[in-house]
Amino acid sequence: MDAQSVGISISLALLTAALGFLSARAFVRGFRSKVRVQMWWAGGLAMAGAAMGVETIVYLGVVDQPLLQSYVFLSAALVGILSIGACRVLRRPRVESAYSWYILGACGVLAVASFETPLSADMVTQGIITGNPPLSILILSTLVTGPATVVLLASAASSLRRSRDWRTLLMVAGALVLGAGGTLYIASFPVALYYAEFLGILLLFAGLMSLKPAGTTAPAPGAATA
């Protein structure tokens, strides 16, 4: 391995670790606060971390069917799961429930199809997953990434219009960038996915780190003096 390859490998490993940390933190926050939306964010981040982990392993030279099938599934499913978390911003319980069931069902169908469809090792070029899966997988993927991208855009617009909460906007923007990267990968722009993952991770990290723990309230006037 030359210096450049070593640098890329280390970068991918560090990004995988960063996503793992973010997902663990979101899971802990979700369990403590009992807020369901936190669990969707955590699940999406965990999927993003798993996808990045697959990228790292493949770049190191390990290429097999389960890895490629996992990556094809994760690159689309993570967008859907993150969008379920973002759907809460719309404040429409019935829409959120119906949309959640739709995305989970679509992801389930995509998972079965992804792991039942043989994939060629030609999808990998110089350690980078660049090829397209079969047309059937592409169509099923768009059933997840298409609606998810629309929901992410709508939730970002709703958050900006209602609260102008920059922390929420950072999280939604991070999910949106990751979603756009997954969509571009499906549309044969694999390099865009790597850039989108990096930027999306930074935005999600900033948003999650800035949020106060659930249940934290500002002290009452005069409490400090008392």
Q: How far is CA 168 from CA 19, 100, 135, 190, 198, in A?
A: 18, 20, 36, 28, 19
Q: Hey, is 125 helix, strand or coil?
A: strand
Report the alpha-carbon distance of residue 84 to residue 102 in Å, rounded. 10
Q: Model confidence over 119-145: pLDDT tens digits?
A: 888 888 777 777 678 888 888 988 998
Question: What stretches of 84-181 adopt beta strand conformation (E)?
Answer: 124-125, 128-129
Query: Which pLDDT score, from 0 to 100, does residue 125 have?
Result: 75
Domains of the chain: 3-210 (1.20.1070)
More confident residue, 193 or 89: 89
Query: Which pLDDT score, from 0 to 100, does residue 15 have?
Result: 81
Global pTM reads 0.76
Sign of CA dihedral 125, 138, 150, 152: negative
3-state helix, strand, coil in the chain (%, to 5): 80, 0, 20
CB 197 within 8 A of CB 181: yes
- Structure token digits, residue 198: 């990096």
Name every residue whose Cβ is closer than 8 Å to that of residue 97 and which is 6 or more positions away in sequence.
none
pLDDT confidence bin for 168, thresholds 50/70/90:
low
How many C-beta atoms lie closer than 10 Å to residue 179's C-beta? 28
How many C-beta atoms lie closer than 10 Å to residue 161's C-beta? 8
pLDDT confidence bin for 102, thresholds 50/70/90:
very high
% of the chain with per-residue pLDDT over 90: 13
Query: Which pLDDT score, from 0 to 100, does residue 1 have?
Result: 66
For residue 145, give the nearest of 174, 112, 186 by alpha carbon.
Answer: 186
Report the alpha-carbon distance of residue 129 to residue 50 in Å, rounded. 15
Question: What stretches of the chain adopt beta strand conformation (E)?
Answer: 124-125, 128-129
pLDDT at 192 exceeding the cut of 90:
no
pLDDT at 108 exceeding the cut of 90:
yes
pLDDT confidence bin for 105, thresholds 50/70/90:
very high
Name every residue whose Cβ is closer than 8 Å to that of residue 61 and which is 6 or more positions away in sequence.
127
pLDDT at 35 exceeding the cut of 80:
no
pLDDT confidence bin for 110, thresholds 50/70/90:
very high
